[in-house]
C-alpha cells in the first residue's frame, strides 16, 4: 500500500496538467522509498514529499519502530518511557547542534512512546491510571513550555513552520491526553462497541490516509482548476 501511495502522485502528475509547484525528481522517489521524506517545515529536511504530503507521518512512524527495539533492549533496565524521554532530549540537543531529520524524528519519539505507554496501561490495568497520566502530563508540559520559550525568543514566527509547528504538535498531544483521561473517568469508552462499520473503516483507514491527498489534488485541478486545501481536501479526497 505504501509503495502504491508513493507511486500514485507521479501517475496523477503525468495525467494532470503537471502544475505542481516542484517537479518530481529521482531523489523525491528515492527518499520516499527509504522513508526520508518530510514536509520541509524545519531546517535540515533531507527530502520533501511530492504531491502526497501525508506520507511525512509514515516516515516518522517507520523510524519510531526502528528506535523502539534497541531502546527496549538497551541497558540499564529503565522503563521504556524514561528511555524514550532521554532519547527525545538527545534528539532535541543534537538538532540544535546540527539541524537534521533524524534528530527531529528522535524529538517526536516521546509522543509515540506516550501513546504506547497508554496502550500498555489499558492492557495491564484495563484503564489509564492517574500515576501514568501524571507522568505523561509532566513530560508534555516540559516540551510545551520549552517551545513556548523558543517561539517567544524567535523574532520571525511563521505558523506551521519551525518552531511553532513543534509547539502546536506537543500542545495538541497534551490536550488530547487530558481529554482521554477524563473521558475515561466518565466511562465514555465503555459505551463504544465494535460494529461491522467500525471494523470495516478501521481496516481501510491506513489506505484512505495514504492515498486521499494526491487523488484530491489531481481531481480538484482537473475539475476546478485549483487545489483544494485544508480540511476540504481531506473531505474531497474521501468523496472521490
pLDDT tens per residue, range 116-157: 999 999 899 988 999 999 999 999 999 999 999 988 887 667
Residue 38 phi/psi, 5° resolution? -155, 175
Query: C-alpha grid cell for residue 69?
Result: 527495539
Helix (H, G, I), strand (E, B) or coil at 131: helix
Query: C-alpha grid cell for residue 2?
Result: 505504501
Query: C-alpha grid cell for residue 4?
Result: 502504491
Per DSSP, helices labelled H in 75-195 are 80-97, 101-125, 130-153, 164-185
Residue 223 has pLDDT above 80, yes or no: no
Q: What is the mean pLDDT of the chain?
A: 84
Per-residue confidence band for 93, with pLDDT thresholds at 50, 70 and 90 = very high
Closest CA to 34 of 70, 71, 1, 2: 2
Helix (H, G, I), strand (E, B) or coil at 157: coil
Q: Provide the CA 157 distance to its chain's centre, in angstroms.
A: 21
The rounded distance, in Å, linking the Cα atoms of 81 and 96 is 23
How confident is the model at residue 109, as a pLDDT? 97
Half-sphere exposure of 220 (CA within 13 A, CB side): 22
Across residues 80-106, what is the average pLDDT? Answer: 95
How confident is the model at residue 116, as a pLDDT? 94
The verdict on pTM exceeding 0.85 is no
Element (H, E) at 37: strand 37-38
Amino acid at each position: 500500500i505504501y509503495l502504491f501511495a508513493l507511486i500514485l502522485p507521479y501517475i496523477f502528475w503525468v495525467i494532470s496538467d503537471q502544475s505542481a509547484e516542484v517537479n518530481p525528481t529521482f531523489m523525491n522517489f528515492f527518499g520516499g522509498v527509504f522513508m526520508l521524506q518530510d514536509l520541509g517545515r524545519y531546517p535540515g529536511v533531507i527530502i520533501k514529499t511530492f504531491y502526497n504530503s501525508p506520507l511525512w507521518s509514515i516516515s516518522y512512524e517507520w523510524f519510531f519502530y526502528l528506535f523502539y527495539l534497541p531502546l527496549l533492549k538497551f541497558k540499564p533496565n529503565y522503563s521504556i518511557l524514561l528511555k524514550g524521554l532521554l532519547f527525545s532530549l538527545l534528539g532535541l540537543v543534537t538538532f540544535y547542534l546540527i539541524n537534521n531529520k533524524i534528530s527531529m524524528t528522535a524529538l517526536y519519539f516521546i509522543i509515540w512512546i506516550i501513546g504506547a505507554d497508554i496502550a500498555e496501561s489499558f492492557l495491564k490495568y484495563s484503564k489509564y491510571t492517574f500515576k501514568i497520566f501524571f507522568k505523561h502530563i509532566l513530560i508534555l508540559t516540559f516540551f510545551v513550555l520549552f517551545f513556548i520559550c523558543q517561539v517567544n525568543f524567535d523574532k520571525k514566527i511563521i505558523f506551521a513552520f519551525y518552531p511553532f509547528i513543534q509547539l502546536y504538535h506537543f500542545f495538541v498531544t497534551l490536550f488530547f491526553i487530558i481529554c482521554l483521561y477524563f473521558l475515561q473517568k466518565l466511562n465514555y469508552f465503555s459505551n463504544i462497541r465494535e460494529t461491522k462499520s467500525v471494523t470495516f473503516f478501521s481496516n481501510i483507514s491506513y489506505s484512505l490516509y495514504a492515498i486521499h491527498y494526491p487523488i484530491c489534488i489531481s481531481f480538484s485541478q482537473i475539475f476546478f482548476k485549483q487545489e483544494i486545501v485544508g480540511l476540504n481536501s481531506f473531505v474531497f479526497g474521501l468523496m472521490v
